[in-house]
Amino acid sequence: MDFKITRDLKNELLKRRELEFTLTFDGPTPSRKSIQEKLAALQNKDENLIVLDLERTRFGKMELFGRARIYDDEESKTSTEKAYLLKRGEPKAESEA
C-alpha cells in the first residue's frame, strides 16, 4: 500500500486534521481497519482517533480515494462525529459458533 496525501487541513475549531488521500494497492481492496492502521502509523497517531469517511475505488484501477479525520482527543471525536461513522470504525465483535 502506498499513501499519497493530496490535502491536509488543520481544523482548530473542531480539534482535528482533515486529510484527503490516494491509496494505491496490489490485490484486493484493503479493509477499513488496515487503511486506518497504516494511516495511524504514517501520521504517528493512535488509530482510535482516526475516522475514515469516504472511500471510493475506480473500476479496473488499483486506486482508492478517501477522506480521513484525525482528532486530537477522544472527547472531540465523540462529540463531533456521527454515530454510524464511529460504529463503522469499531472492530467487529467475535460471534460464538
Range of the domain at 25: 2-89
Is there a domain that residue 20 lies in? yes
68: closest CA among 97, 93, 43, 91? 43
Residue 84 has pLDDT above 60, yes or no: yes
Tell me the pTM: 0.78
For residue 78, what is the domain's CATH number?
Answer: 3.30.70.330
Sheet with 2-11: strands ordered across? 2-11, 16-24, 63-71, 50-57
Domain count, the chain: 1
DSSP assignment letter at 95: P
Tens of pLDDT, residue by residue over 21-35, are 998 988 888 888 888
State CA 23 to chain mean position distance. Answer: 11
